[in-house]
């Protein structure tokens, strides 16, 4: 299922008053157009249906698929698009944060809260949980903070330079957002970001799909 995310402008990044902020979270105004975003992270059952295999370390049909690299995901999307005739893709980093912030609201976490609670976000745990185990944000999106960190299509740069607003074709690193099941509260903040090589895999790395 996909949710319509209305376009708009917002302040991407974190204010200097955020005690947990990193230097790569410079605040700046960004505008995104309307798009559709998956309610949940892609599950192992969904990956299996398209790819015929399940690479995940933690096994379970309704658990998010993990141990998938950015390159693996491109193969998944290619097959899914060919099968359905639709145009699925990863969200840009700006689209991801805009949706996480419920259309650009000033919230620290992607469930619409300013405080991290283990009853609302899956972090500092020992493994993944089934998608949609916690309440969604006001846009109907689940687990954008915690569970698995989510790949975006945007090239990662330590200082925002516009690449967060578009998809990178061949980048050295791609941006990951949202933090994972093993992260600290600061790592599941709406503004937290880091970059990985497109070939990297891990039990805390997954994704959700976007659609034009």
Q: Please write the tens of the pLDDT for every residue from 7-40.
A: 999 999 999 999 999 999 999 999 999 999 999 9
Spatial contact of 85 and 205, defined as CB atoms under 8 Å apart? no
State what percent of residues in the chain have pLDDT above 70. 100
Q: Where are the beta strands (DSSP E) in the chain?
A: 2-5, 8-12, 28-32, 35-38, 88-89, 149-155, 174-177, 193-196, 205-206, 210-211
Spatial contact of 133 and 120, defined as CB atoms under 8 Å apart? no
pLDDT at 20: 95
Helix (H) or strand (E) holding 76: helix 70-84
Q: What is the mean pLDDT of residues 43-62?
A: 98
Q: What is the mean pLDDT of residues 135-153?
A: 98
Helices 70-84 and 44-51 pack at an angle, to 10 degrees, of 70
Nearest to residue 62, comparing CAs of 47, 43, 49?
43
Helix (H) or strand (E) holding 83: helix 70-84
Q: Please write the tens of the pLDDT for every residue from 83-124.
A: 999 999 999 999 999 999 999 999 999 999 999 999 999 999
139 phi and psi angles, rounded to 5 deg: -90, 0
pLDDT at 122: 98
In the predicted model, is pLDDT for residue 212 greater than 90?
A: no
Q: Please write the tens of the pLDDT for every residue from 191-207.
A: 999 999 999 999 999 99
């Amino acid at each position: 299922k996909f949710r319509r995310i209305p376009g708009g402008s917002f302040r991407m990044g974190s204010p200097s008053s955020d005690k947990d902020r990193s230097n790569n979270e410079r605040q700046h105004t960004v505008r995104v157009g309307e798009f559709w975003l998956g309610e949940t992270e892609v599950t192992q059952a969904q990956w299996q249906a398209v790819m015929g295999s399940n690479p995940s370390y933690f096994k379970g049909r309704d658990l998010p698929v993990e141990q998938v690299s950015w390159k693996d995901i491109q193969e998944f999307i290619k097959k899914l698009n060919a099968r359905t005739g639709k145009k699925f893709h990863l969200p840009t980093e700006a689209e991801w944060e805009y949706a996480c912030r419920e259309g650009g609201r000033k919230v620290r976490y992607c469930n619409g809260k300013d405080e991290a609670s283990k009853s609302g976000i899956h972090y500092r745990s020992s493994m993944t949980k089934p998608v949609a185990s916690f309440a969604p944000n006001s846009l109907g999106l689940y687990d954008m903070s915690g569970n698995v960190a989510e790949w975006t299509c945007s090239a990662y740069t330590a200082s925002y330079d516009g690449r967060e607003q578009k998809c990178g074709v061949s980048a050295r690193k791609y941006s990951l957002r949202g933090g994972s099941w093993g992260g600290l509260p600061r790592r599941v903040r709406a503004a937290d970001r880091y970059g990985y090589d497109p070939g990297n895999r891990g039990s805390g790395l997954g994704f959700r799909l976007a659609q034009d």
